[in-house]
Structure 1
């Protein structure tokens, strides 16, 4: 009887270990509808750059794990990540506030030398020629989104949080808000994918130009796990051997600058 009890306990331990191993091998990836870099089809099937990167990393790393996409609106994706309900999300701008609740993987894989611009209705008399002209305007912003520091920290502006870019543009066209903020390099593509009438919008003169870096971010618990650490190392290896450059190319993104891969190679701080 004692032998049987020991055998049962051993089998249960093995079963639990196998179960734990299987669970540890699932990477839950939050994916929002943000064309052209990620999108959800009509049947809610996710696809996009962050999934391409993780799938390639899994195929070439020698460590097998299953990638499970979790479709969600942007703000909910960020919230799920911050609470550890998902493991990974892509395309996030690093901010001090976000660094307190999630872990960013170096280097960034999306590098844009672009501008944040504001769009209004084509037939409106609104003009924004300088930052101060934003005062008194109703500005649609993605709920949970990050833009540029001055704008993000400015509590005097009338920002209207919305769940998606489509909703933001719809509100502008219906006159419910005055402006929507967007990244200039991707706005035209996004509007086309979202089937929005770009010709009914006008771009304001004022723009804020800066390098825009999009990172893979992990929940704090996943970042501290063996698999999270492994994927972080894979990202660095893929950046150094130029694999990331090949993966981002179909999305019309530039190569990752050398100083972001090897910060010590930069001659001057930025």
Structure 2
């Protein structure tokens, strides 16, 4: 009788335990600093946000950094539970469930400080020399415009140094990637450049939870709930500051 009561008590405790409390989710991403990179603080900004939200939702996590194709294939096969850094696409809905947007990737133009540059139309953009990283895709309208005066370079660091020196008029990059890289440039370079207001292209960043995980809908719901709670209690903005990527909104 004592063993039966103990078994009933254990079953009751398990039923009352928070959903997901004993489940360790396998998180995966490729190297994409400052969002995901195992050499950075807590694996990068996106990794830190995702792990914090999932921990608050009651899940333990294990993070692995792998090449992009392997990360996506692992979600499709169910070897991994959560892809940290996914842009929405219809074909990916066949392998996983997307969360709501938790970060926004914004392509931003940068110019030299105290110069007047108008890029409000493609025709006006054609008048400027623009440093672009060789082999990099920015956004289709820009990538496919043969009239643009593009100056290919090897890295954003080279592009922004050319901009600061007046050798080009503009460069462009994802906002957070630019901020991360600018933090590693000299103060002289940082003081000579600035973002133009607005963004020609925006992509929401989501987690993608494998449909092979039977709790995928529950995981997404818990994640979305905790992201909203983090934004409300200030812990979301604190993570941005901790990673050195807090910036005031532009007009």
TM-score range, shorter chain: 0.5 to 0.7
Question: Secondary structure of 1:65's partner?
Answer: strand
CA displacement at 1:180 relative to structure 2 = 0.9
Q: Report deviation, 1:67.
A: 1.9
Q: How many angstroms apart in 2 are the aligned matches of 1:55 and 1:182?
A: 26
Please say if residues 107 and 239 of structure 1, whose CA atoms lie closer than 8 Å, have aligned partners that are also in contact: no
Task: Determine the C-alpha separation between the residues in 2 that align with 1:56 and 1:203.
Answer: 30
User: Corresponding residue for 2:50?
Assistant: 54
TM-score (norm 2): 0.55
Matches within 5 A, 1:57-136: 57-70=53-66, 77=68, 81=71, 84=74, 88-90=83-85, 94=88, 98-101=89-92, 105-110=98-103, 116-119=108-111, 127-131=117-121, 132-135=123-126
Asked if 1:243 is matched to 2:230, the reply is yes
User: Which SS does the other structure have where 2:204 is aligned?
Assistant: strand
Match of 1:169 among 160, 170, 174: 160
Report the RMSD for the aligned CA atoms in angstroms: 4.7
Does 1:215 pair with 2:205?
A: yes
Residues 241-260 of structure 1 show CA distances to partners (whole Å, capped at 9, x for unaligned) of x1344342111669xxxxxx
Partner secondary structure for residue 27 of structure 2: strand
8 A contact 2:28–2:71 mirrored in 1: no
2-structure distance, mates of 1:166, 1:104:
36
Which residue in 2 is equivalent to 1:264?
none
Q: Is there any run of 5+ residues in structure 2 with no aligned partner, and where? A: 1-23
The aligned residue for residue 33 of structure 1 is 33
- Once the 2 structures are TM-superposed, how far is the Cα of residue 210 of structure 1 from its aligned partner? 7.3
Q: CA offsets, 1:18-46, max 9 Å, x none?
A: xxxxxx84222334223xx66675xx666
For residues 218-262 of structure 1, what are the alpha-carbon distances to aligned partners after superposition, in whole Å with 9 as ceiling and x for unaligned? 3xxx5323165443222222145x1344342111669xxxxxxxx
- Structure 1 residues 195-206: aligned runs within 5 Å: 195-196=185-186, 197-201=189-193
1:76-124 Cα offsets, whole Å, 9 max, x none, are 75x555555885233x665xxx544576733212359x8833325x79x
Question: Is the 8 Å Cα contact of residues 168 and 180 (structure 1) preserved in structure 2?
Answer: yes
- Kept in 1, the 8 Å contact 2:131–2:153? The answer is no
Across the two proteins, how many residue pairs are aligned to each other?
A: 206
Aligned to 1:108, the other structure's residue is in SS state coil
The 8 Å contact of residues 140 and 179 in structure 1, kept in 2 or not, is answered as no
SS of alignment partner, residue 98 of structure 2: strand
Structure 1 residues 60 and 239, CA gap change in structure 2 (3 angstroms): closer
**Cα 1:109–1:139 shift into 2, 3 Å:** same
TM-score by length of 1: 0.52
Give the whole-Å Cα distance in 1 for the aligned partners of 2:73 and 2:118.
38
Q: Is the 8 A contact 2:36 2:45 kept in 1?
A: yes
Q: Distance in 1 between matches of 2:97 and 2:155?
A: 23
> Which segments of 5 or more consecutive residues in structure 1 lack a partner in the other structure?
1-23, 71-75, 255-270
Alpha-carbon distance between aligned partners in 2 of 1:162 and 1:81, rounded to the nearest angstrom: 29
Hey, what's the Cα distance between the residues in 1 that align with 2:154 and 2:219?
30
Q: Is the 8 A contact 1:27 1:88 kept in 2?
A: yes
